[in-house]
Structure 1
Amino acid sequence: MSSELLVQQPGNSVVTDLGRFRGPHFGLPVNGALDQYSARAANILVGNEDNAPLIELTALDFRMTTTADLLISVTGASADLSVGGRTYPQWEPVSVAAGETVAVRGIRGGLRAYLAVHGSVDVPRLLGSCAPDSVVGFGVRLAKGTALKVQRPVAPLRQPYFDLPLFRLGVERPRAGREVLVDVTDGPDITEFGASADLLFDSEYTVSPRSNHIGLRLGGRLPERISSGEVLSRGVPVGAIEVPSREELLVLHRGRGVTAGYPVLAVATSLGLDVLAQARPGDRVRFRATTVAEATAAYRRSMLQLESLRHSVNTVFSLLGLHGSAGWHDLPSAACG
């Protein structure tokens, strides 16, 4: 029998990775996991490379069973993780025996959770990435009965005494509350909004239910453009904050098109985008100004946290005879943020 994951309750789930970094060169969005920190951590916890395919769960309950022994981890928003009916913590490796049911229920304090499997799963790729792209109709969206081939089964790892936890790595991502704080740098067109640009930092915005992986729509007091010149269509970065109408802000996320024709007021930082990935409809968002240098330093600190986690995991895995993962600096630069 082949080693497979069998989806019983898909909820709203896809197989993804860190993104299609070659995509923009061909006019395709980068896409990929919206909360990049949580996705990286999930893969690190099971000894995978950062960019290995994993499952992104959005809002709804998920359940699967397996025909093989596995090692999994679940990160991201808080949720109730159970294996074979037993409760386990997130942000730690968890051993699963063949035939056991894995359930992730009650996602809260955020919108997305990430489930990684040691050795990852076998899925198609486009331009080197398995990230779904709704525009070209590519990707693996999970449905009831979907079977994913597991590349590297792992014999059950159990603590021999009283079934105590085998891993206690002590890592956990800070949880988002009902008010979300997002760091942004100045956009190339901030001067076109004059003094009203300060509204971005002095006001509170509410996440619209119409938000998705392409962009978050936010209602609130809007800066007004004082220039009347036409903005030509041009390349825009992931995280660009635009004012396309008098009704809402638009924060372009990883599924955004590579060009747009609205003035860019500000740009959310990489870590700010991770925070926005966990924002639920109705959550309140505030923006905080930062510099490119400060944003770069914060990003490097987050990568060092993950490197420390990787070192701990690789140390434990080497003692158990399991494969570990390479550091983020050993991966292609496009996979590093």
Structure 2
Amino acid sequence: MADHLVIHRAGLSAVQDLGRFGRSRFGLPVNGALDQFSARVANVLVGNDESAPLVEITMLDFSCTPSTDVLLAVTGAPAEITVGGIRRPQWEPTAVRAGETVTIGGIRLGARVYLALRGSVAAPSLLGSCAPDTILGFGRSLRDDDELAIGSGVPPIDHPVLRHPVFRLGVPVPGFREPWTIDVTDGPDVAEFGASATRLFDAEYTVSPQSNHIGLRMRGDVPQREARGEVLSRGVPVGAVEVPAGEELLVLHRGRGVTAGYPVLAVVTATGLCALGQVRPGQRVRFRKRSVAEAVTAHRAQRDVLRALRQRASTLFDALRLPMPTTSAPASETP
């Protein structure tokens, strides 16, 4: 039987990757991991391609046992990680022996945790991605007692260095604190809100329980549109901050439909989207205005962090003479 991961407690988890790019022209949302930075880091820490499939765990406890020795990494929201009952750190590679149970519990401050295994996990692919799509009914949501195949190409791995408690790769862990600060740039309809547009940056907004991967609903002091004309249905980007009639903002995320007819006051930046993917219902959010140039600079800085981390991880694996995994990954997102 192929090497696999036995899922004991699935909670709310699914196999994810970075999404389905270039398909919006056909009406398909990009989907993929909501916190792209944490997902990319998890894969880099175990030597995978950044786009390799991994497990996204949302708020609830999770546990599993591998049938072979594996190297894994857990990133994302703060949580309590144990291997065979012993606490292990997040944001670092961790060696796990065959038969040892991995538990991830007490997820707090943020909403999502990412579990990557060296060599990746097997998952069906649609149009170049394993990302679940609720509209198409596609994707691998995990259940208790499921067996998740571990990707081939990597022999069983265990090394004393990776078990040593002082071993660190030095990942700059993002802040997880409330209120969340979410960076945005001006949207195409900002002029239609007149002076009230500044309310977006003066007020705090509370995330509604009716939020999901499609979009987050937020209540607070909502800017009021002064224009009275109809807004035609048109293409909208991931991160669009829409202002429907009423007392809510609607912030579209990676599962959003590709067209909409509400005015778009602002657009969340690429780095802001990662933070927004960690916001829990009931938490408070503040928006911060950024120019396009500032948004691009922040995105490039985050890519530089990943590039430097990848180099350190590669140096480690080369020094330990550990072969790099051979994974067939979907295309990466372009900056």
TM-score, scaled relative to structure 2: 0.95
Aligned to 1:202: 202
CA contact (8 A) 2:253 2:273 kept: yes
AA aligned opposite 1:276: L
Please list, as runs of the form range in 1=range in 2, the aligned pairs for 1:271-310 lying within 5 A after superposition: 271-310=271-310
CA contact (8 A) 2:47 2:118 kept: yes
Q: Note if 1:5 corresponds to 2:5.
A: yes
Aligned to 2:319: 319
Q: Note if 1:44 corresponds to 2:16.
A: no
Aligned to 2:156: 155
Q: Following the alignment from structure 1 to structure 2, what is the Cα–Cα distance between the partners of residues 336 and 43?
A: 17
Please list, as runs of the form range in 1=range in 2, the aligned pairs for 1:1-337 lying within 5 A after superposition: 1-152=1-152, 153-159=154-160, 164-165=164-165, 167-324=167-324, 332=331, 334-337=332-335
Q: Following the alignment from structure 2 to structure 1, what is the Cα–Cα distance between the partners of residues 180 and 121?
A: 33
CA contact (8 A) 1:31 1:132 kept: yes
Q: Following the alignment from structure 1 to structure 2, what is the Cα–Cα distance between the partners of residues 204 and 65?
A: 42
Q: Following the alignment from structure 1 to structure 2, what is the Cα–Cα distance between the partners of residues 32 and 143?
A: 19
Q: Secondary structure at the match of 1:110?
A: coil
**Percent identity between the two aligned chains:** 56
Residue 325 of structure 1 and its aligned partner are, at CA, apart by 7.8
Q: Secondary structure at the match of 1:5?
A: strand
Q: Secondary structure at the match of 1:63?
A: strand
Q: Following the alignment from structure 1 to structure 2, what is the Cα–Cα distance between the partners of residues 290 and 157?
A: 45
Q: Residues 1-42 of structure 1: CA distance to partner in whole angstroms, max 9, x if unpaired?
A: 320011110010000100000321221100000000000000
Q: Residues 71-117 of structure 1: CA distance to partner in whole angstroms, max 9, x if unpaired?
A: 00000000011111111100000011111111101001211000000
C-alpha change, 1:68 and 1:285, in structure 2 (3 Å) is same
CA contact (8 A) 1:109 1:175 kept: no
AA aligned opposite 2:158: L
Q: Following the alignment from structure 1 to structure 2, what is the Cα–Cα distance between the partners of residues 181 and 151?
A: 37
Q: Secondary structure at the match of 2:195?
A: helix
Further displaced range: 11-20 or 167-176: 167-176
CA contact (8 A) 1:159 1:165 kept: no
Residue-pair matches, total? 332
Structure 1, unaligned stretches of length 5 or more?
none
AA aligned opposite 2:27: G
Q: Following the alignment from structure 2 to structure 1, what is the Cα–Cα distance between the partners of residues 77 and 161?
A: 31
What's the Cα RMSD here? Answer: 1.8
AA aligned opposite 2:40: R
Residue 287 of structure 1 and its aligned partner are, at CA, apart by 0.6
Q: Following the alignment from structure 1 to structure 2, what is the Cα–Cα distance between the partners of residues 321 and 189?
A: 55
Q: Residues 170-210 of structure 1: CA distance to partner in whole angstroms, max 9, x if unpaired?
A: 21422221200011000000001111001001111011111
Q: Secondary structure at the match of 2:271?
A: helix
AA aligned opposite 1:183: D
Q: Residues 236-293 of structure 1: CA distance to partner in whole angstroms, max 9, x if unpaired?
A: 0000000113120010000000000001000000111111111111111111110111
CA contact (8 A) 2:161 2:167 kept: no
TM-score, scaled relative to structure 1: 0.95
CA contact (8 A) 1:72 1:93 kept: yes
